[in-house]
Amino acid sequence: MAIVEKVIDASPQQVFDVLADGWTYSDWVVGTAHVRDVDEAWPRAGSQLHHRAGPWPFSLQDASTVLVCEPPHRLVLRAGLWPAGEAIVAFTLEPVGEGATRVRIGEDFAAGPLRWIRNKINDLVLHLRNRETLDRLSDIATRQKGTP
């Protein structure tokens, strides 16, 4: 499992609030082109976020399902991108000092062709993608930090 971490200048609750807003996923999840629908129960376990990933006109429609939700410390998703496969993506949030959070994202392919194509190049691309994802998540969480 590829793990990337970043310290964000916002509390775990402020960061988790971004994770809990399914409509923002296309703003910070690299590769998500459009959020089509979000279950009303999101991010409760079993709820889904319906998305499109990849560049138009080649984007694929699929859904991500919440496997574990422990606000404001942990969120685990099964992210679908069929026919390429699906991945398990785990976010863990840990308070660091006063008003900061260490966010870890771990991602591993769980099914489909992508699960069988593991090499150093794919791992590097996944690492860079998730680092950019955390940078974008940080931008949104810190921007919302000042809002009441």
Tell me the mean pLDDT in the region 28-42: 93
According to the model, what pLDDT value does residue 133 have? 95
- Structural domains for the chain: 2-145 (3.30.530.20)
Tell me the mean pLDDT in the region 59-64: 86
According to the model, what pLDDT value does residue 59 have? 78
pLDDT bucket at 148, cuts 50 / 70 / 90 = very low
**Higher-pLDDT residue of 55, 8:** 8
According to the model, what pLDDT value does residue 107 have? 85
3-state secondary structure of 40: coil
Task: Beginning with the edge strand found earlier in the chain, give each strand of the sheet holding 60-70 in spatial order.
Answer: 2-8, 100-111, 85-96, 74-81, 60-70, 48-53, 32-38
**pLDDT tens digit sequence for 87-139:** 899 999 999 988 999 999 998 877 655 655 665 555 666 788 899 999 999 99
Global pTM value? 0.87
**pLDDT tens digit sequence for 3-14:** 899 999 999 999
Displacement of CA 62 from its chain's centroid (Å):
15
